[in-house]
Amino acid sequence: MPLDPANSTQLREPGGSRKPLPPWASTAALLVPTYGWLTLAVFLPLCTMFAFSFLTATPMGKAPIVFTFKQYRAFIDQPYLLGVAWQSLLMGFWTTFFCAVLGFFAALALVRATEGKVRETLLILVLLPFWTNGLVRVFSWTMVLREGGFLDYAIHSVWPGAGSVGFLYTRQAVVVGLVHGYLPYMILTCYIALVTIDNTIVEAASSLGARWWTILWKILLPMAAPGLISGSVLIFVPVIGSFMEPRILGGRVGVTMGTVIEDQFTQAFNWPLGAALSFTMLAVVLGIFATFSGVLRRGTAL
């Protein structure tokens, strides 16, 4: 006998229909695994390091443990750390600035000048650095930037009498390595913002007589502001704490807060001081973002 849609008793399973789960239960089932993993892998280690920053020694050793605020006075007791922190912030600013300029125009070229398989291929090439080891990428730059390296060879092949332009073990070399490492983040965030812009807006502005620089400054940049802001946050925060690029490409001048903090954990085994310096820099970064939060909100709303 065919089922009658009007007869609901024919559609029920034996024993009656199941009662659907409440909305909060299904939401919790989806969120608990994610936030559980974040708690185990991120929040608990951070809380542990935060607790260590108020101790004189870690509980793993035999040294007596005393609760103290001394670790957070490091910038007062050791004034040279202020200069190191300032150089780290400057390095983060210049790296973010160059990534924003290069990343925006690279994303604009992808959106406006390519399509189809060509665009997909170029996007894969943008992501290609993520598929290689970061240490290999940094050491590759030493072969390019050193005196007598690939950069010198390329210039001397065109201008044999030119002097060496190698600038390895300088802050400029560190910025070059950081820009190369973090540029894909900016390209991707700007690409996502630019690809959603309707072409008819640009065509309408062009038909009304707007020049290309007017379209760039009045339309494309404001509408791509969310991508620029997101990319800047993704780049600035890890750059000021980076230690691999400054140590390899900077040499003696590559002392940053990242290298100082790494030394406290790996060389001096002073985990409380390393944790205190980390959370102090985190507070500085949060203060910077809080100061410019109005600008960030306005840029995201455009």
- How far apart, in whole angstroms, are the C-alpha atoms of residue 170 and residue 249? 7
Task: Tell me what pLDDT residue 295 has.
Answer: 57
**pLDDT tens readout for residues 272-298:** 999 999 999 989 888 888 876 665 565
Task: Tell me what pLDDT residue 1 has.
Answer: 47
Q: What are the structural domain ranges in the chain? A: 80-301
Q: Given CA atoms 203, 206, 212, 218 in this order, what sign does their dihedral have?
A: negative
User: What is the second-level CATH architecture of the domain 80-301?
Assistant: Orthogonal Bundle (1.10)
Task: Tell me what pLDDT residue 108 has.
Answer: 92
| Backbone torsion region of residue 20, taken as left when φ is above 0, otherwise alpha when ψ lies between -120 and 50, otherwise beta | beta
Task: Tell me what pLDDT residue 18 has.
Answer: 67
In sequence order, which residues have a C-beta less than 8 Å from that of residue 219 and are 6 or more positions away? 197, 201, 202, 205
Mark the ranges of the chain whose per-residue pLDDT is less than 50. 1, 3, 5-6, 8-13
In sequence order, which residues have a C-beta less than 8 Å from that of residue 185 and are 6 or more positions away? 99, 103, 231, 234, 235
Task: Tell me what pLDDT residue 88 has.
Answer: 94
Task: Tell me what pLDDT residue 262 has.
Answer: 92
For residue 97, give the amino acid letter. F
- How far apart, in whole angstroms, are the C-alpha atoms of residue 229 and residue 100? 9
